[in-house]
Structure 1
Amino acid sequence: MYKIKEKEKLFIYTGPDGSGRKTIAKMVATAFDMETVLSYTTRSPRHYEQDGEDYHFVTDVAFKKMEDNQEFLETVEIDGIHYGIREQDIVKAFENHNLVYLTLNPEGTEKLKNMYGERVMRFFIFSNRETVIERHKARKDMEEDIQRHLAHYDETMEYKNKCEHVFENYDSPQVSFQVSEVIEAFLDRNRIVTDY
């Protein structure tokens, strides 16, 4: 397991699918020198998703091979779909950046929190069920995908009490500003002074 160094920090965005986690994560990353690490998944890309930008989309066979080679730091299976974070990708991200962010489901988030403890800061981003349905429809998700995500909505919402920071996403620019303020305050508190 990669050992996170003193100045390095993992920020994880979690919450119900369709609540705008990725949008907020990307907005916040532009305010800081932040690198992202993408998950590998065996599901097919949605019509608006790009391989290497949203996820690394791989076949079941390729995923299994990577798993057998112990390339993953953590993996989860949800509704028969596999997701995993490659350890090498985290190592690589930390080569050039002290701050790295991921967008994960609660299961993956919890696994990384257990591994890295206080080096992980969790942001739970949520929207109410109606807003989530509207967003799914606006991005023209298939009805079966919407139903699949909604089936996990209540269970996912239960995880919010475990996270360090919780934000309801009613307005992405506003919420990304609030998240940035939290990170700014955290970095200021933990600033390591190198000028003697």
Structure 2
Amino acid sequence: MYKIKEKEKIFIYTGPDGSGRKTIAKMVATAFDMETVLSYTTRPPRPYEKNGEDYHFINEEDFKKMQVNHEFLESVEIDGFYYGICEQDIVKAFENHNLVYLTLNPEGTEKLKKLYGERVMRFFIFADRDTVIERQKERQDNTADINRHMSHYDEIMAYKSSCEHAFENYDLPQVSFQISEVIEAFLDRGFEVTDY
């Protein structure tokens, strides 16, 4: 397992599908020199998703091969689809950046937190049930996908209390700003040298 160096930090955005966690993560990353690490998945891309930008979309056979070769730091199966984070991708991201961010489901988030402890800060991004359904419709998710996501809503919301920070997302710029402030304070604390 990759050993994170002193200044290296991982920020993970989690929460229900349609909460805006990916958009917020991207907005916050622009304020810092932050590199993203994409998950690998066997689920088909949604109409608005691009391979290599949102996920690495691969078939199940390739995913299983990567599992056998122990390439994943963590992998989970949700609704018959596989998701995983490749350890090498994290190593590569840390080559040029001290700060790395990921957007993960609670299972993946929890696994990375267990692996890296205090080096990981979790942001739980959420909105009420009606709002996330509305957002999924706006981005043209099909009804089956929306129902699948919503079947996990309560279970995902239950993870909120486990995360270091939780933000209700009804105003993207405002939430991005608040998260940036949290990260700023966290980094300042981390690099503070006190003389007694």
TM-score after normalising by structure 2: 0.97
Render the CA deviation track for 1:36-73: whole Å, top value 9, x for unaligned. 00000000000000000000000000100111111000
Q: Which residue is equivalent to 2:164? A: 164
Q: How many residues align?
A: 193
Q: Which residue is equivalent to 2:6? A: 6
Distance 1:173 1:56 in 2: 28
Distance 1:46 1:108 in 2: 21
- Aligned pairs for 1:1-196 within 5 A: 1-191=1-191
Equivalent residue letter for 1:112: L
Distance 2:188 2:134 in 1: 38
Render the CA deviation track for 1:132-173: whole Å, top value 9, x for unaligned. 010000001000000000000000000000000000000111
Equivalent residue letter for 2:154: D
Equivalent residue letter for 1:102: L
Distance 2:192 2:68 in 1: 40
Distance 1:69 1:163 in 2: 31
Residue 192 of structure 1: CA displacement?
5.5
SS of 2:82's equivalent in the other structure is strand
Please, what is the CA RMSD of the aligned residues? 0.7
Where structure 1 has 5 or more consecutive residues not aligned to the other structure, the ranges are none
Where structure 2 has 5 or more consecutive residues not aligned to the other structure, the ranges are none
Equivalent residue letter for 1:163: C
SS of 2:167's equivalent in the other structure is strand
Amino-acid identity (%): 79
SS of 2:137's equivalent in the other structure is helix
- Runs of 4+ aligned residues of structure 1 deviating over 2 Å after TM superposition are none
Distance 2:192 2:86 in 1: 29
Distance 2:189 2:64 in 1: 42
Residue 191 of structure 1: CA displacement?
1.3
Residue 24 of structure 1: CA displacement?
0.2
TM-score after normalising by structure 1: 0.97
Render the CA deviation track for 1:106-130: whole Å, top value 9, x for unaligned. 0000000000000000000001000
